C-alpha cells in the first residue's frame, strides 16, 4: 500500500511540470487579455524557463515585451522562436511585423541580418585545403 501511494505521488509530481508550463501559458494569455502585460511577461518567462525550447512560450513572451515597449527584447525572443520553429507561420509573421515596426519607428535598434550561406569555400571542389605545417607529422 505504501509503495502504491509513493508511486502515485511520484506520477503526480512528474506530470505537474508539463501541466505547469501549459497552465503558466494560459495564465499569461489571460493576463494579456486583461491588459496586464508585465504580469503576463513573468508567466511566459517562467514557462520558457521550464522548457527553453518552447517556441510558443518565447513568442508569447515577445508579444508581452512588445506591449511593454521592450522592443529589442521582443525582437531577440522572436528570432530565437523562429529558429526553434521555422515552420510556424504565426511566429514568422510576428517576427516580420516586429522587424518592420523597428525599422520604421526604432531605427536605433540594430536588426540582425540573416546569415548568408558561404559559397565557394573550396574553389577546387569539395576538397578541404591542406592543413598548416604544424599539424603535419
pLDDT tens track for 12-53:
444 444 457 788 888 999 998 999 999 999 999 999 999 889
Check pLDDT > 60 for residue 112. Answer: yes
Check pLDDT > 60 for residue 83. Answer: yes
Cell numbers given for 102:
523597428
Tell me what percent of the residues of the chain surpass a pLDDT of 90. 42
pLDDT tens track for 48-64:
999 889 999 999 999 99
Could you report how far apart the first and last alpha carbons of the chain are, in Å?
A: 68
- Tell me the HSE value of 51 on the side-chain side, using a 13 A CA sphere: 17
Q: Which helix (H) or strand (E) holds 90?
A: helix 89-105
Cβ–Cβ < 8 Å for 57, 38:
no
Q: What topology is assigned to 16-113 in CATH?
A: 1.25.40
DSSP state of 131: P
- What mean pLDDT is predicted for residues 83-93? 93
Amino acid at each position: 500500500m505504501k509503495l502504491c501511494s509513493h508511486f502515485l505521488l511520484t506520477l503526480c509530481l512528474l506530470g505537474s511540470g508539463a501541466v505547469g508550463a501549459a497552465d503558466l501559458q494560459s495564465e499569461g494569455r489571460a493576463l494579456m487579455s486583461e491588459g496586464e502585460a508585465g504580469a503576463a511577461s513573468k508567466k511566459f518567462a517562467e514557462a520558457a524557463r521550464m522548457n527553453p525550447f518552447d517556441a510558443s512560450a518565447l513568442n508569447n513572451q515577445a508579444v508581452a515585451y512588445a506591449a511593454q515597449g521592450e522592443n529589442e527584447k521582443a525582437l531577440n525572443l522572436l528570432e530565437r522562436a523562429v529558429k526553434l520553429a521555422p515552420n510556424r507561420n504565426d511566429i514568422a509573421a510576428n517576427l516580420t511585423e516586429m522587424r518592420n515596426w523597428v525599422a520604421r519607428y526604432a531605427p536605433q535598434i540594430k536588426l540582425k541580418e540573416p546569415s548568408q550561406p558561404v559559397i565557394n569555400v573550396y574553389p577546387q571542389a569539395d576538397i578541404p585545403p591542406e592543413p598548416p605545417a604544424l599539424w603535419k607529422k
